[in-house]
Amino acid sequence: MAGIHKFSIFDRDILEVPNVIRHACGGRYVGQKKVDALADVLCDRNPAVEIERFDVDIMTSAEVENAVRRSAVVVLATDNEPSRFRINQLWVDARTAFVLGRVFTRGIGGEVFAYRPGETGCLACIESVLQRSQFREGVSEVDLLSEEQREHLYGLDVGEIKDSPGLNVDISFITCFHARFAIDAICRTLPRRPQQLPSIETDCDLGKSTHSPVHQTF
């Protein structure tokens, strides 16, 4: 809806019932490949979009590297650290701008980070600081749990809302900033920046009530 019309989507998952409470694609897409479901939603918003779909594992696919090199910005929204760090290395090697968004366990907060080649450090750089800072104190990331624990957490057998991985209202708070950072990255490549889109000067937002001279918070 912001006028971006060329997408390459990577995801090997199938949309399942537990995804519906926090996904852009609703119940009628359950059982479909996520790349197909999301492509349909994007086309509904803007029939002129051009979409490449890759139902592949981004940890092993060579197509990911090619897509990173030819993209204006890469939007990373995976749910585990190995995939984040693999794509991070591809970004750095290709000098491609990227934005990373992730939501903390149960939707208690999250963070959005932008890598700007030649201007800022990469994900590995910022992680070396955040992992030991007050921002991560007491935060349990889902990807640090065992596979059995994750299946239980994301399943429908959990009775109380406090054990939810986060509802759409929690996640959308972070994704709004994620989308805004992605648009900012594209605007930085334009000959003339749109007047209604002021530049984001910081490269990281943390969705918690904290104060730091380094990070802009909300």
The 3-state DSSP class for residue 99 equals strand
> What are the boundaries of each domain within the chain?
1-55, 58-217
Q: Enumerate residues 6+ apart whose C-beta is below 8 A from 11.
A: 33, 34, 35, 38, 54, 55
Q: Residue 154: what residue type?
A: Y
**pLDDT of 206:** 59
**pLDDT of 153:** 59
Q: Which of 103, 99, 96 is nearest to 114 (CA)?
A: 99
- pLDDT (tens digit, 9 = 90+) per residue, 81-105? 888 899 899 989 999 999 999 887 6
**pLDDT of 167:** 74
- Are 173 and 109 within 8 A, CB to CB? no
**pLDDT of 9:** 95
**pLDDT of 137:** 52
**pLDDT of 209:** 33
**pLDDT of 22:** 79
CA-to-CA dists, residue 98 to 16, 37, 57, 116, angstroms: 28, 23, 19, 7
- Are 35 and 13 within 8 A, CB to CB? no
Q: What is the DSSP letter of 169?
A: H
The pTM of this model reads 0.76
The 3-state DSSP class for residue 113 equals strand
Mean pLDDT, 10 residues at a time, the chain of 218 residues: 90 90 89 97 94 94 91 90 89 91 77 88 79 50 61 54 62 88 92 89 60 34
